[in-house]
Structure 1
Amino acid sequence: MTAIPKEEYLLKCTSACAGCSSSLCLRYVTKAAGPDTVLVVPACCTSVIQGIYPNTAMDIPVYNIAFAAAAACASGMSNAFRALERDTNVIVYAGDGGTVDIGIQALSGAFERGTDFLYICYDNEAYGNTGMQRSGATPLGARTTTTPGGKPTPKKDLDRIVEAHNPPYMATACSAYPLDLYKKVKKALSIEGPKFIHILAPCPPGWRYSSEKTVEMGKLAVKTGSWVLYERENGALTINGPSKAAMKKPLPLEDYIRGQGRFKGITPEALEEMRRQIQMTNARLSREAEGIC
């Protein structure tokens, strides 16, 4: 952690909930990016976390944009900066609702055009800013305000959708591993073209766990294999350290599930289906990382 700069671009006294992991992630994202950075933020928790003008908690420029338009806005902004021969970092920082669902068309378009920017999806697996309604990123069996009996369908595989665009760099990260996140943002910003980082961001009120357990919850997601940390650079997949161990000997999935109130009452059938999907995904990633078709 000594490699991380002391400068702060996300200041104290944000409007975040206690234990908010997405604001923790944003702190390290901005440290990696530095002061010559513009954040493009669609409607999401971050548009609340930043505070009310003129008393914003952000010490870098932030452009708030409509839910569906973040990547389109960033595309034009990046082109304008490059036309002025400026290397300013353009970073979209969007939730899963504005990425997996509402913003996916603009995301796809910006990647197809080869926009020089970094798109970060911090994924709390629901529409956190408006009361925790289910999103396409909500996992199977999770209770939300619009799936009170548990979501009947699995989480959309956003990473495979992004992978289909063949970006030069994409990665996954988790708020419980800040140094890993910091290094991935630094690497992404050193590469020209469209980059993507997908961060798992546990949410205390939405996932229904005590706020002091945010880091523990993120680590359990990784150690049970529910969330895999990896990088894909020019198509080549590398599974990162914590997930290498989890691939070989994962903790029981129940260790992760039982600490979250959103999974209260999950059926044995849904739990077994979650386990099957995790095993299938991790086996596929392991084979690819080892060069096995």
Structure 2
Amino acid sequence: MSELPKEEYLKKCTSACAGCSSTLCLRYVLKAAGPDTVLVVPACCTSVLQGIYPTTAMNVPVYNVAFAAAAACASGMSTAFSATGKKTNVIAYAGDGGTVDIGIQALSGALERGTNFLYICYDNEAYGNTGMQRSGATPIGARTTTTPGGKLETKKDIDRIVAAHEPPYMATACSAYPQDLYKKVKKALSIQGPKFIHILAPCPPGWRYPTEKTVELGKLAVRTGVWMLYEREAGKLTINGISKAAMKKPLPLEEYLSAQGRFKGISVEAIREMQLTLERNQRRLRNEEEGLC
């Protein structure tokens, strides 16, 4: 952690929930991006936790936009900066609801146009800002306010959807591994064109675990294989060392599930489906890395 810059662009006066990992993520994203950065934030937890001007917690300019418009706004902003010769970093910072569901058409359009920006999805696997309703990113079996008996469908694979657009750089990250996140943001911002980083961001009130367990939950997600850490640069996929080690000796999936109240009463069938899904994902990523697909 001593390698990271001391400058802070997210101040301590946020109104985030205790144990909020998306705030931790944003702290390291901004450390990597630096002061010449503009955030584009659609409706999500981040649009609330920043506070009200002039007492905002953000130490960089922030544009709060409509739920579906983050990538579209960032696309226009990037073009405007380019036209005036500025090299300001344009970062769309959106939750899973504004990425996987409501904002997916704008994201697809910006990727297809080749917009020079970084799109970051911090994924707490539900609509956290409005009470933890089910999103397309909610995993099977998870209880939310709109799936009180547990979600019946598997999590939407936004990473494969983004990969189909063939951006020059995309990666996954987790709030429990800040140095990995920092390095990926630095690399992404050094590359011209559209970039995408998908961060798993555990949520204490939504996932129903004690606030001091946020980092532990993130590490459990990676070490069980539920969340894979990798990069895809110029079409070449690399599974990061943390996940490679986890794949050799993964922790039981039940350790991750039992630590969260949202999976209380999850069915054996849902656990089996989740296990099969993570195994398929690992196999697909391993084959791609080895050039077998």
For this structure pair, what is the TM-score category when the shorter chain's length is used for normalisation?
over 0.9
How far is 1:189 from its partner? 0.1
CA distance in 1, matches of 2:44, 2:105: 17
User: Which residue number corresponds to residue 145 of structure 1?
Assistant: 145
How far is 1:287 from its partner? 1.3
Q: Secondary structure at the match of 1:220?
A: helix
How far is 1:289 from its partner? 1.1
Q: Which amino acid aligns with 2:253?
A: L
User: Which residue number corresponds to residue 286 of structure 2?
Assistant: 286
How far is 1:101 from its partner? 0.2
User: Which residue number corresponds to residue 71 of structure 1?
Assistant: 71
CA distance in 2, matches of 1:13, 1:86: 30
Q: Which amino acid aligns with 1:145?
A: T
Q: Single out whichever of 144-153 and 45-54 deviates more from structure 2.
A: 45-54
User: Which residue number corresponds to residue 270 of structure 2?
Assistant: 270
Q: Deviations over 1:111-150 (max 9, x none)?
A: 0000000000000000000000000000000000000000
Q: Secondary structure at the match of 1:6?
A: coil
User: Which residue number corresponds to residue 214 of structure 2?
Assistant: 214
Residues 1:45 and 2:45 are matched in the alignment? yes
Q: Secondary structure at the match of 1:262?
A: helix
What runs of 5+ residues in structure 1 fail to find an aligned partner? none
Q: Deviations over 1:184-241 (max 9, x none)?
A: 0000000000000000000000000000000000000000000000000011000001
CA distance in 1, matches of 2:253, 2:245: 15
Equivalent residues in 2 for 1:40-189 (5 A)?
40-189=40-189
Displaced runs of 4 or more, over 2 A:
none
What runs of 5+ residues in structure 2 fail to find an aligned partner? none
Q: Secondary structure at the match of 1:31?
A: helix
How far is 1:2 from its partner? 2.1
CA distance in 2, matches of 1:113, 1:188: 17
CA distance in 2, matches of 1:144, 1:99: 18
User: Which residue number corresponds to residue 243 of structure 1?
Assistant: 243
Question: TM-score w.r.t. structure 1 length?
Answer: 0.99
How far is 1:249 from its partner? 1.4
How far is 1:258 from its partner? 0.2
Equivalent residues in 2 for 1:222-261 (5 A)?
222-261=222-261
CA distance in 2, matches of 1:166, 1:269: 34
How far is 1:54 from its partner? 1.5
Q: Deviations over 1:29-71 (max 9, x none)?
A: 0000000000000000000110112110000000000000000
CA distance in 2, matches of 1:249, 1:260: 22
Residues 1:24 and 2:16 are matched in the alignment? no
Q: Which amino acid aligns with 1:23?
A: T
Q: Secondary structure at the match of 1:105?
A: helix
CA distance in 1, matches of 2:201, 2:195: 19
CA distance in 2, matches of 1:250, 1:133: 30
How far is 1:170 from its partner? 0.1
Question: TM-score w.r.t. structure 2 length?
Answer: 0.99
CA distance in 2, matches of 1:140, 1:184: 28
CA distance in 2, matches of 1:224, 1:42: 31
How far is 1:291 from its partner? 1.8
CA distance in 2, matches of 1:218, 1:273: 21
How far is 1:3 from its partner? 1.9
